[in-house]
Amino acid sequence: MLIWLAFIMLMPFQVISDEQPRDSLIVLQMGACERRCPVYRLVLFADGSTLFDGRHYVRIPGPFRSKVSLDSLGKLMGQAEAIRFFELKDSYQPGGDCESPKSDGPAATLTISLRGRAKTILHFRGCAGREADQLTKLEDAIVEASGVAKRIR
């Protein structure tokens, strides 16, 4: 029993490879905007499998499964760590922490889970500013690494 409990407690930190803990998870949801921005959801699991669901205004709608290398997933997690994702604010939206907001743009909801930490950030992509720009780059990198860019545009 004690061994089982210890296993469960350590599970979030168990690694599949040298780099990726089992609780690694990235969920990116891209919302609508007036200019008919693509609306989709993208999930990257700890084993590198991905699930894309193109909902509206994407080139190829519907679900699509693929795989990213653990190295790529590790790099994305490294990028998240580098911008101190888990310490950023919960929201970057007009009226809040948002410089020079544009009147239109999609809202990205990005959730990352890693080594027992999990955080969701709502990010209006029409916001400028250092942290907002870093989030935009991270979201773009997630899409790029997942190989779904051509299904979106």
Beta bridge partners of 42: 28, 52
Residue 117 contacts other proteins per CB under 8 A? no
Applying CB under 8 A, the span of 18-26, 40-48, 62-70, 98-106 interacting with other proteins comes to 98-106
Strand, coil or helix: 32: coil
Query: Quick one: which of 71, 81, 99, 104 contacts other proteins (CB under 8 A)?
Result: 104
Does position 80 bind other proteins by CB under 8 A?
A: no
Q: Is 126 near other proteins (CB under 8 A)?
A: no
Quote helix, strand, coil % in the chain, to nearest 5: 30, 30, 35
Q: Is 60 helix (H, G, I), strand (E, B) or coil?
A: coil
CA torsion sign for 55, 59, 61, 64 is: negative
Using DSSP bridges, classify how beta strands 25-30 and 39-44 pair: parallel, antiparallel or unpaired.
Answer: antiparallel
103 near other proteins, rule: CB under 8 A: yes
Choosing from 59, 84, 117, 137, the residue that interacts with other proteins (CB under 8 A) is 59
Q: Minimal distance in Å, beta carbon 133 to other proteins? A: 16
Q: What is the DSSP letter of 127?
A: -
**Binds other proteins by CB under 8 A, chosen from 5, 18, 36, 65:** 36
By CB under 8 A, name the one of 16, 25, 32, 118 that touches other proteins: 32
Contact 53, 78 (CB under 8 A): no
Q: Which residues bind other proteins (CB under 8 A)?
A: 31-36, 38-39, 55-59, 103-104, 106-107, 152-153
